Structure 1
Amino acid sequence: MPRQSPPPRGPLSNVEPLLLASGSPRRREILANLGIPTLVTSVDVDESTLPGEAAEAYLVRIVGAKLEAASTKTFVGGPLLRGDTLQGINIAAAAGAVLVADTSVIDDGAILGKPSSPEDAERMIARLAGRTHEVWTRFAIGAPEAPARSVHEETVKTRVTFRPLTAERVRAYVASGEGTDKAGAYAIQGRGAGLVSRIEGSYSNVVGLPACEVIVALEQLGLWL
């Protein structure tokens, strides 16, 4: 495999690229649109809820586990430490901080995760139709060498209202397959936008990462100008 060159630094940034520990192309796109250069990997964390676990506690636990996994993951040259390599890229020269996140759809305190089947997706969309729910994204940035705090964790909440939907419309949306791998069984950045009549709060938060809050966190950590 040919050696990769580290991504260029962002034009508005004084920081090395973030290591985005997420398989979500939407999060990567949000960071790219902000001008934040990234390296991308994924972490394997069991995202099952515990019996009786509240939504906030769930997100705190899952994001904490993701940050721990990303901070100790073994790459080509060993654990993720300053000086190790990631597919031929020297981490000391390429990754300034680690970003992890998890997004959940919350309806009346219940966590709506990714649907297990088309029937499950139909139940979720029908449940949300004509009502207001919330989308919570918790993110964490770990920056061992940041001049300010070493870790920033935050949960951002957005209220989303669905228009009333007929059973036929619910089935048609589910049949598109768009929401198969999405929390709450819909994607607001795609056809799912036609289900939504109103949002209150961050749109990018619903997509998967609250853009403004991430920038503010990087500023507080001394990693962004």
Structure 2
Amino acid sequence: MEIIVLASGSPRRKELLAKTGLKFSVVVSGGEEKAETSDPAETVEKLSLDKASEVADLLQAEKEPQLIIGADTVVACDGEILGKPSDREDAFRMLWKLQGQTHQVYTGVTLLLKKKHTWQAHTFSEKTDVQFYPVSREELLAYIETGEPMDKAGSYGIQGGFGIYVKGICGDYNNVVGLPVGRLVYELKKLGIDIRGIKK
């Protein structure tokens, strides 16, 4: 077990975290958690904390890591929080709502740091504005047919096929992909953790 654990099965988050040079292992928490709040920043912060805490519980019987990183991403548009679509109709509804509009992508990150045999949580969230060009019904249906939207918040991946409809972004691109790497490294340094290794 690495001393750093990523509490997420997302291949996109794994790739982004690998860019930092940190050595880590991946442990996936159980089912999808639901946060009972209408505030997207609070929602992703709670979901990231839930993921990290669940993995901490799972690893109690093993040699525990020193740091667990949990993350969760949602899309927000006109007061509605958009998670992963339940089916293709739901994906179309979300994408139709987003096309031609500006929306926000929120990623919450929780850092569970082991100090004196106790987990200490440090949670934050990052927001990025994304604007889409108008997209036709036929284009949306063709994109949904690829299957790509089904495991993504807001039913799209900016790094995938829907990226051609992006008019602009304001904020961290990596945050839209699923992990605000720059902010993560900054927050780690604030906690006294160098990306070259955890300082004792």
**Shift, 1:66, TM fit:** 1.7
Runs (4+) of structure 1 moved beyond 3 Å? Answer: none
Question: Aligned with 1:119: secondary structure?
Answer: helix
1:15-49 residue CA offsets vs partner (Å, 9 max, x unmatched): xx420011111111001112111110011144235
Paired position in structure 1 for 2:30: 44
2:83 corresponds to which of 105, 109, 113: 113
Please say if residues 124 and 184 of structure 1, whose CA atoms lie closer than 8 Å, have aligned partners that are also in contact. yes
**TM-score of the superposition, structure 1-length normalised?**
0.79
**Mind listing any 5+ residue stretches in structure 2 that lack a counterpart?**
196-200
Please say if residues 47 and 108 of structure 2, whose CA atoms lie closer than 8 Å, have aligned partners that are also in contact. no
Please say if residues 28 and 38 of structure 1, whose CA atoms lie closer than 8 Å, have aligned partners that are also in contact. no
**Shift, 1:206, TM fit:** 0.4
Please say if residues 159 and 201 of structure 1, whose CA atoms lie closer than 8 Å, have aligned partners that are also in contact. yes
**TM-score of the superposition, structure 2-length normalised?**
0.89
For 1:124 and 1:185, the matched residues in 2 are separated by 7
Paired position in structure 2 for 1:20: 6
Identify which range, 122-131 or 59-68, moves more after superposition.
59-68
**Shift, 1:68, TM fit:** 1.8
For 2:114 and 2:153, the matched residues in 1 are separated by 31
Paired position in structure 2 for 1:123: 93
For 1:97 and 1:116, the matched residues in 2 are separated by 32
1:65 corresponds to which of 46, 50, 53: 50
Aligned pair 1:164/2:150, yes or no?
A: no
Paired position in structure 2 for 1:3: none
**Shift, 1:150, TM fit:** 3.7
2:144 corresponds to which of 149, 174, 188: 174
Please say if residues 141 and 152 of structure 1, whose CA atoms lie closer than 8 Å, have aligned partners that are also in contact. yes
Looking at CA atoms only, which structure, 1 or 2, has the larger radius of gyration?
A: 1
AA aligned opposite 1:54 = D
Backbone CA RMSD of aligned residues: 2.0
For 2:180 and 2:103, the matched residues in 1 are separated by 17
Aligned pair 1:187/2:157, yes or no?
A: yes
Please say if residues 33 and 50 of structure 2, whose CA atoms lie closer than 8 Å, have aligned partners that are also in contact. no
For 1:57 and 1:49, the matched residues in 2 are separated by 8
AA aligned opposite 1:120 = D
Paired position in structure 2 for 1:140: 110
Structure 1 residues 73-92: aligned runs within 5 Å: 73-74=58-59, 79=60, 84-85=62-63, 91=64
For 2:113 and 2:35, the matched residues in 1 are separated by 28
Paired position in structure 2 for 1:13: none
**Mind listing any 5+ residue stretches in structure 1 that lack a counterpart?**
1-5, 8-16, 86-90
Number of equivalent positions: 193
Give identity over the alignment, percent: 36
Larger fraction in helix: 2
Question: Aligned with 1:144: secondary structure?
Answer: strand
AA aligned opposite 2:133 = R
Paired position in structure 2 for 1:154: 124
